[in-house]
Structure formats: C-alpha cells, structure tokens
Amino acid sequence: MMATNGKDACGLKNDVSSVSSNGPAVANGEATEASTRSKLQNGGTVRPERFAFSPEPTIEDIRRMQAEFTDERDWNQFHQPRNLLLAMVGEVGEVAELFQWRGEVAEGLPDWTDSEREQLAQELSDVLIYLVELAEKCRVDLPQAVLRKMALNRLKYPASKVHGSAKKYTEYKD
C-alpha cells in the first residue's frame, strides 16, 4: 500500500496504564524505548516496563468492521478464501519490502523515521485485516484457535528443555 505523509501517531501509541505518574512521558519512539528500560519504583524495586498494545479493537471488532466495509462495497463476490490468501501474501510482501536491503534491524527500530514507522504500521495492519477476513471466510474462530496453538507450543517446547536454544522440536531428545 502507499506510503503516507507520516503525520499520524506513527504506530507508537503506547499503553501507558502501567507507567507510573512520575515516569517519562510516552509520546514517541524514544520515550517508548525508555519505558521498556528498568526504572526505580516503590522505593527501589526495579521493574522493567514493557511495551503493550491497546486493549481495543479486539480481533472480533476487526472482523466485524471489515465485514461491514466489504458488505457496503459489495466486495464479497471477490473475497473467496484463495483470493484473500493471495491478498494477504501481497501485504506480507509489502512488509518485507520495508525490511529489505537494511541489514539487521534492532528492536524498536531506532533508526527509522516516523514516516517509515507509520508505513510499517499500515502494512502490518493490512496483513492482519486480510488474515482476519480469511479466517472468517474459512469459519476459523481465530482467537480461540490461537489459544489452542499456544497450548500446543508449550507442550512441544517445554521451557525446561529448550531454554536458550533455537532447535526445532523435532531435534530435541527426551
């Protein structure tokens, strides 16, 4: 999808509910980065602050909004599962374009401009929107499916067995 003028919130709106009132203001990438570093709270306890998403919209909210968008435009005639899958693949390609030719990129994208960050936010959103609509059209309850898959992942990769290793589960010995 097209680049934008970068005047938006740049994908950096943070969930500040867990940031103490005397902590740093969270308004841009640097402040968000700062909020992930440890800081003293409660008379000396070090507690790392971690970036978090906004609680809404939920996946179901996104499904419903996208269904309304598609219905209003009479676009369900084009939105068969394989077409949606190809649309998602296209959007994944657009995310990949933003990371190509760069070399390693550190967590938090410290060298990216606001415009690049907003473009990334848009392309990641496009992937999610098509993923949600694909799941809907396939009658997969995506939020519940994720819970089942995460339970399976915990069984396949017991923390005690795989700590610090990138081996695939088929490579572990009992």
CA angle 29/35/37 to nearest 5° reads 115
Interacting residues with a copy of itself between 89 and 118 (CB under 8 A): 89, 92, 95-96, 99, 102, 104-109, 117
Single residue of 34, 51, 94, 114 touching a copy of itself by CB under 8 A: 51
Specify the residue, 43 or 53, whose C-beta has the smaller distance to a copy of itself. Answer: 53
Interacting residues with a copy of itself between 62 and 91 (CB under 8 A): 62-67, 69, 72-75, 77-78, 80-82, 85, 88-89
Q: Is the dihedral of CA 8, 17, 34, 24 positive or negative?
A: positive
Give yes or no for residue 155 binding a copy of itself (CB under 8 A): no
Residue 43 CB, shortest distance to a copy of itself, in Å, is 25
Give yes or no for residue 45 binding a copy of itself (CB under 8 A): no
Specify the residue, 2 or 42, whose C-beta has the smaller distance to a copy of itself. Answer: 2
Give yes or no for residue 121 binding a copy of itself (CB under 8 A): yes
121-125 long-range contacts, CB within 8 A, separation 24+: 121/8, 121/10, 121/11, 122/1, 122/4, 123/1, 123/91, 123/94, 123/95, 123/98, 124/11, 124/95
Identify the CA nearest to 11 among candidates 142, 92, 109: 109
Specify the residue, 40 or 154, whose C-beta has the smaller distance to a copy of itself. Answer: 154
Distance CA 104, CA 111 (A): 11
Distance CA 36, CA 48 (A): 6
Single residue of 3, 9, 25, 27 touching a copy of itself by CB under 8 A: 9
Give yes or no for residue 3 binding a copy of itself (CB under 8 A): no
